[in-house]
Amino acid sequence: MVIKVENLVKTYKSGVRALDGLTFQVRDGEIFGLLGPNGSGKTTSINCILSLLKYEEGKVEIFGKEMTPTSYDIKKDIGIITQNVAVYDELTVYENIDFFCSLYVNDKSERKRLVEEVIDFVALNDYKKFVPKKLSGGLLRRLHIACGIVHKPKLIILDEPTVAVDPQSRNKILEGIKQLNKEGATIIYTSHYMEEVEMICDYILIMDKGKTIAEGTKEELKDSIKLGETIEIELKEPNQSLIEEVSKLERVIDASYKDNTLIVKSLKGKSNVGDILNLIQVHNLEYDRIYSELPTLNDVFLEITGKELRD
């Protein structure tokens, strides 16, 4: 195990209980996703794991040793990438990476090699002498990531690294994370974007109000809920009697309109698409598009908590 968190309890002075008995483990070489809505306790968990925050109860072990603020032997193998960019405006791209590398590596030639490698990795070769202010948002984010991984840590913690990042840069970041994982790093990835977590994580823990509400692989999580399929059909005109008949179909658990779109949720099993289309024809209704979607992590969250991930 790379990380072992047991029964973590953290209450802020305001009285808000941010972590309420959180327990989980991260295995060597996996990409571990910590998914939850804003305020669910993801960042607090990370800060407690890193001993940046005090907590009342619980235990954190990293690489088999208890993590404390002075566990320098553990810290040398950790890389942190925070939600907000952490670079010096006064230093160039190269100098920034070199500075943060020097917190871990004393040898000058070794440092130079690592800095060059990471600049290659994040494709900032053409911007080495640029100061952060001259970089676009995406490039700045790449610099931020480079500063966190330059020392080739065994454990990389990314706390919502794609917030306010354009889609193109986001994809590059996600690809980079997968690449780092392939090269042997264990990754903890926190996000409230379920698509990202679903795309890159091997194991996912969904949390809310400081507690684990579900965990497993994405397949295990989706299998754990009743929902099997969500069908959406864009109708020219909604029809109330159609809804009543659709609701009576086998395995249908909910049917409703959102504007002119009929939304039907069904249990696992045979798809209801054919039956619903038949009913639409019987009512002589016109329709545009049909979507059939398998359960998402949002559905998992919704079914367990009764609210959307992005509420």
To the nearest whole angstrom, how small is the minimum distance from the Cβ of residue 77 to other proteins?
Answer: 9
- Whether the CB-CB separation of 234 and 267 falls below 8 Å is answered with no
To the nearest whole angstrom, how small is the minimum distance from the Cβ of residue 290 to other proteins?
Answer: 46
Which residue's CB is nearer to other proteins, number 106 or number 240? 106
User: CB count, 10 Å around CB of 136?
Assistant: 11
To the nearest whole angstrom, how small is the minimum distance from the Cβ of residue 120 to other proteins?
Answer: 21
Which residue's CB is nearer to other proteins, number 83 or number 272? 83
To the nearest whole angstrom, how small is the minimum distance from the Cβ of residue 88 to other proteins?
Answer: 5
Which residue's CB is nearer to other proteins, number 54 or number 182? 54
User: CB count, 10 Å around CB of 64?
Assistant: 10
How far apart are the C-alpha atoms of 226 and 81, rounded to whole Å?
Answer: 36
To the nearest whole angstrom, how small is the minimum distance from the Cβ of residue 72 to other proteins?
Answer: 4
DSSP designation for 125 = G
- Phi, psi dihedrals of residue 5, rounded to the nearest 5°: -115, 125
- Phi, psi dihedrals of residue 52, rounded to the nearest 5°: -80, -30
Which residue's CB is nearer to other proteins, number 1 or number 52? 52
Sign of the CA dihedral with 194 first, then 223, 44, and 33 last: negative
Which residue's CB is nearer to other proteins, number 209 or number 251? 209
How far apart are the C-alpha atoms of 1 and 21, rounded to whole Å?
Answer: 19
To the nearest whole angstrom, how small is the minimum distance from the Cβ of residue 240 to other proteins?
Answer: 52
Query: Distance from CA of residue 228 to its chain's centroid?
Result: 23
Cα dist. 14→11, 102, 155 in Å? 8, 38, 32
Which residue's CB is nearer to other proteins, number 87 or number 173? 87
Residue ranges in contact with other proteins by CB under 8 A: 12-13, 47, 50-54, 68-70, 72-73, 75-76, 78, 80, 82-88, 90-91, 95, 98-100, 102-104, 106, 108, 111, 147-148
